[in-house]
Amino acid sequence: MQKASLLSGRSAIIHRWGSFLEMSILNKKSLTLLITLFLILVALGFFLINLKSKSSVSGKTYPEISNYPYFSVSDIYKKFWEEDNLSTGYYNTEGHVQTVEKCGREACPGEAIVISSSNNNNQESTLRVYVKNSNQFKIGNKYQFSLEAINDSGGKIIHLVGYSN
């Protein structure tokens, strides 16, 4: 009897040890799965944060202004549009953003901001400046701008090349 009880005790221990090993394998698989899911969620979180920061409203996509000749908004308007006396080149100015224009037409050269010297909506000289991302500008805010004025056989257009708050 004693031998039988020893054998049954040993088999119970072996059975328990086998259950423990099986449990450990399941726990290892579960732990591996949980760690993998956690790492996937962390990577997804970093991706979404990076994506949001790239499309952020306050994300600046232009350098600071450069050292170009300075003209007021009204001087650029008169010389470039009225007198045709401003050649293709780079210029600095400062002004307030009056409106932001999103382009909905196929032939449109892109989004634009309309700037003027003052912060009121009177009909003074304004410039339409084409930009890459108009979301970074707030209507009414004053900025310093570096502009590229293009006056050639294809027409006249003004592009933003840099700005400062």
- Report pTM: 0.61
pLDDT in tens, 5-38: 544 555 555 555 555 556 566 677 777 888 888 8
The fold adopted by the segment(s) 73-164 is: OB fold (Dihydrolipoamide Acetyltransferase, E2P) (2.40.50)
3-state secondary structure of 25: helix
pLDDT in tens, 45-101: 877 777 655 444 456 789 999 999 999 999 998 888 887 777 789 999 999 999 998
One DSSP character per residue, 106-157 reads TT---EEEEEESSSS-SSS-EEEEEES-GGG--TT-EEEEEEEEEEETTEEE
Domain residues of the chain, as ranges? 1-55, 73-164
List beta partners, residue 91: 147
